[in-house]
Chain A
Amino acid sequence: MRHLAALGGLLFLALAAFSQAFQPPTEFKSGYTLPATTAPPPRADWLAWMDVGLLALALCLAAWLVLRKRSRVGVLLLTIGSLLYFGFYRHGCVCPVGSVQNVALAIADPGFALPVTVGLFFLLPLLFALVVGRVFCAAVCPLGAAQEVVLLRPIKLPDWLEHALGVLPFVYLGIAVLFAATGSAFLVCKYDPFVLFFRFSGSSVMLTVGIGMLLIATVVSRPYCRFLCPYGALLRLLAPLSRWPVRITPHTCVNCMLCHDACPHGAIHPPTPEEKLPRREGKARLIGLLMLLPALIAASAFLARQASPAFARLHPTVRIAEQVSLHSAGLLPGETNEVMAFEHAAGDAGILYEQARVIQRRFDRYSWYFGGWIGLVIGVKLLALALRRRRTEYEIDQGACLACARCYPSCPVTADGLPEVKQPEGSAR
């Protein structure tokens, strides 16, 4: 604070010196009046609330189209509508995917004000997932929509690849929270592969990534949603709890496999084969994995902690402190902009280094959590693979189901719609 006051004083003195040099004319003989400095206002607040309203409306519409109308065409039309509004008109910002970082930063840093509208963008799709599954992914998310409209000929990925890549969203979520909570960077926004299409501008690197991702999306449906999206990771956890999830046939599955073929997201699992793993062997593997879990978490937390100084370099203050210390040691060839800015502001190097140390300590702490999270994700994935549930018919994996409604027309039992709307609870499983 004292530092700031000193800075302000210096600037004031400098300003005073200059104004003496070029005293602004106080009056003009010709009756000239000073033009006002214009200040066009930012986007009105109520428009942000309208966005929230539209999000809620789109979610309701998506739920109705997926669960009641069971209309693939309707879902696709809504998808295009969302792409146009939330994507091209709103430039893809703020979206629930990126809002994860705002929420993480607001929790970690009470000084960061989270606007209510952004908080609602974060909460609404999660709430809907608890009730009706991932309808947000189906037809509301502009990033998903960008991939949805380019899909030409979906191929099925082999199980092992699907499982391996399926861990990535949780890893990305960890990374996004780590850097957002430390106030370093909003990586999800920075490395959003589609937002540059919405804005018609962006770096050449991200353009390459974006085009590559869209090319992949022509044959692998929704690669970003399934294998990267950090918000999708949250939805994947919540959607299996949904009260009224997507159901293909509520009564009689004839095990025809047609829905399995129609799903481009690998979200419909076939019945398990009759022969089972011997119970004892399965148990031993489970116990082994359970004992491995803490070791995995500890090891990964330790590794992440070792990488903490490298992580911290993404924080601008740490970067500037590094440059200033290099400069004062005479190790920088010239004067960088950062050093110049620091000297221009007459900053105190001691205070800067102390700030950098505080940030480094924060990174040390969060790196533990981050590493632990990665270990937990891998451990739980291994456990989930070891736990084999018996299935007697084709079942939807609600976590992976994007509620795109492609499977409905394929089902010979309910192709013409559900025979009745109210089903006895639980009979679809």
Chain B
Amino acid sequence: MADGKATTRRGFLTHALRGLGVLAAGGAAAALARAGEEGTVWQIDPNLCISCDKCATECVVRPSAVKCVHAHALCGYCKLCFGYFESESIPDELAGTGAEFQRCPTDAIQRRFVEDPFYEYRIDEARCIGCALCVRGCTAYGNGSLFLQIRHDRCVNCNECAIAVACPAQAIRRVPADHPYLLKKTEAAE
């Protein structure tokens, strides 16, 4: 390269290309600003979910950022809850609520007597691992008031959700960050 201010062919080319690069970046930024979309987050569509166990095993956060959520307005408050009890073969007089009769492997569903004949079921999120066993029971035999959601206090919002990739039902999609949940509602609310 020549010394001083003399412009060489190489120097000119470099300058021109750099100018082009800055212009292109500026153009891209302008296009971005115009398209201006705000952030999105991952969420499970409970109507597509088939309650396999991928949410418990695939998430990069351990235990999973997916938890069971309870839409109490949909719940039947049944005494014999198929989300709570292991199987439908539980005797009518309810042998008990010991671990051997519970569906949840981590004792994350808390059962509480409300009034005859109603029982309340609450999810202890700290214990829930998102395995969907209760969801399967509740959806198959009950109202489907138990369902899975990605909890955004735990989700790290990966660029590519590891569960979404593995989900056999393609039930996980990006939703706008200002409506981050896809909750089940009652018919009246719909």
Question: A residues near B, CB below 8 A?
Answer: 11-12, 15-16, 18-19, 21-25, 28-30, 32, 34-43, 45, 48, 91, 93-94, 98-99, 101-102, 106, 113-117, 119-120, 123, 126-127, 130, 185-186, 189-190, 196, 199, 201-202, 238, 240-243, 316-317, 320, 336-338, 340-342, 344-345, 424-427, 429
Is A185 touching B39 in the complex (CB atoms < 8 A)? no
Residues on A with beta carbons closer than 8 Å to the beta carbon of B28: 119, 123
Is B21 touching A238 in the complex (CB atoms < 8 A)? yes
Interface residues of B in 1-52 (CB under 8 A from A): 1-5, 8, 11, 14, 17-18, 21-22, 25, 28-29, 32-33, 35-41, 47-48, 50, 52
Q: Which of B74, B157, B165, B177 is in CB contact (< 8 Å) with A24?
A: B74
Q: Please name the residue on chain A nearest to B40 by beta carbon.
A: A113
Residues on B with beta carbons closer than 8 Å to the beta carbon of A106: 35
Q: Which of B2, B8, B18 is in CB contact (< 8 Å) with A241?
A: B18
Question: Looking at chain B's contact residues, is the secondary structure mostly helix, strand, loop, or mixed?
Answer: loop
Known: A30-B114, A202-B60, A426-B11. 16 other contacts (CB 8 A): A28-B114, A34-B72, A38-B69, A42-B180, A45-B39, A45-B177, A48-B39, A93-B159, A115-B37, A126-B21, A130-B18, A238-B21, A320-B170, A337-B50, A338-B168, A426-B8
- Known A-B contacts A19-B187, A238-B21; the reply to A34 vs B160 at CB < 8 A is no
Q: Please name the residue on chain B nearest to A190 by beta carbon.
A: B160
B144 interface residue per 8 A CB criterion: yes
- Known A-B contacts A24-B186, A426-B11; the reply to A102 vs B159 at CB < 8 A is yes
Is B156 touching A199 in the complex (CB atoms < 8 A)? yes
Interface residues of B in 133-190 (CB under 8 A from A): 142-145, 151-153, 155-160, 162, 165, 168-171, 174, 177, 180-181, 183, 186-187
B61 interface residue per 8 A CB criterion: yes
Residues on A with beta carbons closer than 8 Å to the beta carbon of B186: 24
Is A11 touching B37 in the complex (CB atoms < 8 A)? no
Closest 8 CB pairs of A and B: A22-B76, A341-B169, A337-B168, A113-B37, A186-B160, A42-B152, A40-B153, A119-B32
- Known A-B contacts A93-B159, A425-B5; the reply to A242 vs B18 at CB < 8 A is yes
Is B71 touching A45 in the complex (CB atoms < 8 A)? no
List 10 contacting pairs A-B, 8 Å CB cutoff, sorted by A. Answer: A30-B114, A32-B118, A37-B70, A42-B157, A94-B159, A102-B159, A115-B38, A120-B29, A189-B159, A201-B62
Q: Which of B22, B40, B48 is in CB contact (< 8 Å) with A130?
A: B22
The docked-state distance in angstroms from the alpha carbon of A329 to that of B77 is 44
CB distance from B44 to the nearest CB of A (A): 13
Contact digits for B90-110, partner A, Cβ 8 Å, 1 yes 0 no: 000000000000000000000
The docked-state distance in angstroms from the alpha carbon of A186 to that of B159 is 8
- Known A-B contacts A29-B115, A119-B32; the reply to A201 vs B60 at CB < 8 A is yes
- Known A-B contacts A316-B165, A336-B168, A345-B169; the reply to A115 vs B40 at CB < 8 A is yes
CB distance from A89 to the nearest CB of B (A): 11
Is A93 touching B158 in the complex (CB atoms < 8 A)? yes
Q: Please name the residue on chain A nearest to B183 by beta carbon.
A: A37
The docked-state distance in angstroms from the alpha carbon of A91 to that of B145 is 33
CB distance from A68 to the nearest CB of B (A): 20
What is the count of residue pairs linking A and B with beta-carbon distances less than 8 angstroms? Answer: 184
Is B18 touching A243 in the complex (CB atoms < 8 A)? yes
B122 interface residue per 8 A CB criterion: yes
Q: Which residue, A43, A48, A201, A342, has most C-beta atoms of chain B within 10 A? A: A43
Is A32 touching B32 in the complex (CB atoms < 8 A)? no
Q: Which of B40, B61, B177, B181 is in CB contact (< 8 Å) with A201?
A: B61
Q: Please name the residue on chain B nearest to A389 by beta carbon.
A: B10
Residues on A with beta carbons closer than 8 Å to the beta carbon of B35: 106, 113-114
The docked-state distance in angstroms from the alpha carbon of A240 to that of B40 is 36
Q: Please name the residue on chain A nearest to B149 by beta carbon.
A: A39
Is B142 touching A43 in the complex (CB atoms < 8 A)? no
The docked-state distance in angstroms from the alpha carbon of A22 to that of B76 is 5
Is A317 touching B3 in the complex (CB atoms < 8 A)? no
Is B41 touching A42 in the complex (CB atoms < 8 A)? yes
Is A345 touching B48 in the complex (CB atoms < 8 A)? yes
Is A114 touching B183 in the complex (CB atoms < 8 A)? no
Residues on B with beta carbons closer than 8 Å to the beta carbon of A320: 168, 170
Residues on B with beta carbons closer than 8 Å to the beta carbon of A185: 160, 165
The docked-state distance in angstroms from the alpha carbon of A94 to that of B160 is 10
Is B187 touching A15 in the complex (CB atoms < 8 A)? yes
Q: Which of B2, B50, B174 is in CB contact (< 8 Å) with A426?
A: B2
The docked-state distance in angstroms from the alpha carbon of A106 to that of B165 is 19
CB distance from A151 to the nearest CB of B (A): 27
Is B76 touching A23 in the complex (CB atoms < 8 A)? yes
Is B29 touching A119 in the complex (CB atoms < 8 A)? yes
Is B155 touching A42 in the complex (CB atoms < 8 A)? yes
- Known A-B contacts A15-B144, A189-B160; the reply to A24 vs B39 at CB < 8 A is no
Q: Which residue, A24, A116, A117, has most C-beta atoms of chain B within 10 A? A: A24
The docked-state distance in angstroms from the alpha carbon of A320 to that of B158 is 23
Is A241 touching B76 in the complex (CB atoms < 8 A)? no
Q: Please name the residue on chain A nearest to B47 by beta carbon.
A: A11
Residues on B with beta carbons closer than 8 Å to the beta carbon of A201: 60-62
The docked-state distance in angstroms from the alpha carbon of A318 to that of B145 is 32
Residues on A with beta carbons closer than 8 Å to the beta carbon of B72: 34-37
Is B143 touching A19 in the complex (CB atoms < 8 A)? yes
- Known A-B contacts A37-B70, A240-B14; the reply to A18 vs B142 at CB < 8 A is yes
